[in-house]
Every structure is written in C-alpha cells, then in structure tokens.
Amino acid sequence: GQNIDQPTEMTATEGAIVQINCTYQTSGFNGLFWYQQHAGEAPTFLSYNVLDGLEEKGRFSSFLSRSKGYSYLLLKELQMKDSASYLCAVRSSGGSYIPTFGRGTSLIVHP
C-alpha cells in the first residue's frame, strides 16, 4: 500500500512564497501529481513529477526526490485566489496506474 503525508493547514501572506511538502512511502514509485481544489469544486491539475528535480510552471514549481520519498509544491507571489486545498497524489508501478491521494493541505492566503 501507500502512505502519503501532507500538512493539514498552512497560512501565508499575499505576495509571499509558500512551500507545501508531501512525503510518501510506496512499494514502487511511478509519478507524483499536484492538484489544486477550491472548496466545493473539482480538483485541477497543477504539475507532474516522475524524475528527480524541479519542474517550473509560472508561479508554481514542484520538486521531487525519489530517494527521500519527498516532494514539495512552491507557490510564489501569492494571490488571494491561491487560497485552496492542494492535493498530492502518488502513482505506484504495476497494476492499474491509479494514483493514491493524500489528505490535502488547506492554504489560507491573507492580505
């Protein structure tokens, strides 16, 4: 099985930078996804990492270290609209390719 751990809640100030961590344990790693979910809405895809290193997409970046079972999502120049839940999901190798989701991190951005 898989075990995925994220902080439950984080707060940050508008314009600042925030890092949301995700640690995982899996029998065979085959990719990690980050999604953003506003309350009562569908999760939307942010980033995908399968190799070690940093993937940058505008204000959002995602980092992966497979040896440490660790990823983070970095949000720069925070805006009020970034207040949402951020979900980390890990795919394991073999079988169905269905990712397992963490509990999500609720980010509150205040002025």
Residues that bind another protein (CB under 8 A): 4, 8, 30-31, 33, 35, 40-45, 48, 50, 87, 89, 91, 96-99, 101-104
The nearer residue to another protein, 30 or 76, going by C-beta atoms, is 30
Cα gap 37→99, rounded to integer Å: 16
In the block, residue with structure tokens 């995908």: 48
For residues 35 and 46, is the Cβ–Cβ distance under 8 A?
yes
Rounded to a whole number of angstroms, the minimum distance from the CB of residue 16 to another protein is 25
Nearest CA-CA partner of 74 in 102, 49, 54: 54
Rounded to a whole number of angstroms, the minimum distance from the CB of residue 42 to another protein is 4
The nearer residue to another protein, 49 or 72, going by C-beta atoms, is 49
Rounded to a whole number of angstroms, the minimum distance from the CB of residue 102 to another protein is 5
Cα gap 85→36, rounded to integer Å: 6
Rounded to a whole number of angstroms, the minimum distance from the CB of residue 14 to another protein is 25
Phi/psi at 80 (5° precision): -55, -35
Grouping H, G, I as helix, E, B as strand and the rest as coil, residue 38 is: coil
The nearer residue to another protein, 16 or 50, going by C-beta atoms, is 50
